[in-house]
Amino acid sequence: MTVDEVLAQGAPPIVAILRGIRTQEAISVATALLEAGIRLIEVPFNSPDPCGSISAMVEALGSRGAFGGGTVTSIALAEQLAGAGGTFLVSPNTDPAVIARSRELGMDVLPGFLTPTEAFAAIGAGARDLKLFPGSVLGSSYIKAIREVLPSATRVWAVGGVGPANVAEYRAAGVFGIGVGGSLYKPGDDATTVGARAEALVSAWNAAN
């Protein structure tokens, strides 16, 4: 499924970032997230076996959510992600070549940016969704300010330091969505723990609407 297909079904625009997850636990943790209402799931490429984890989740749960890769910093990694069945790509930086190739492969892209220059470079390469990273460094006031100069169709996602305690602040500033990593999942966390955290995050997101 694509990001837009998942969102069209009513899922919140929350990306769960499973950095460090192992392939043997990927399905159980992803199932817990899906049941809690988080249906956008990212496995960063600095995890033990990102393509194996993504492939396993797509095969078992592909009809229930969108599964993608993060920390994708090269065309080669983008091609590996597409080969694993990933439907969206997240990066910590803005690389027009990676964005363009990922779009050619049919994947949604969420390139990372911090400055207006990076944001417009990503938009020029074909990105509609932009990941402000790290989101907590400049905060919600920066998001509100930068949205005033971006094209109206651009969707800003805040990643880094966003969670249940401050999601209302970021929503009020105009973020389209968020990405959450360590406060949802850390290596070694079991599916029950992750599911409970996901439920709390979804509740906080909905309450801030």
Residue 25 annotated as catalytic = no
H or E element that contains 14: strand 14-17
List C-alpha distances in Å: 120 to 59, 108, 116, 143, 203: 36, 17, 6, 15, 33
Active-site residue, from 35, 131, 144, 148: 131
Cβ-Cβ contacts under 8 Å for 55 (sequence gap 6 or more): 84, 85
Say whether 42 is catalytic: yes
Q: Determine which one of 42, 79, 148, 199 is catalytic.
A: 42
CA–CA distance from 47 to each of 72, 170, 175, 188 (Å)? 12, 28, 27, 13
Query: Which residues have a catalytic role annotated?
Result: 42, 131
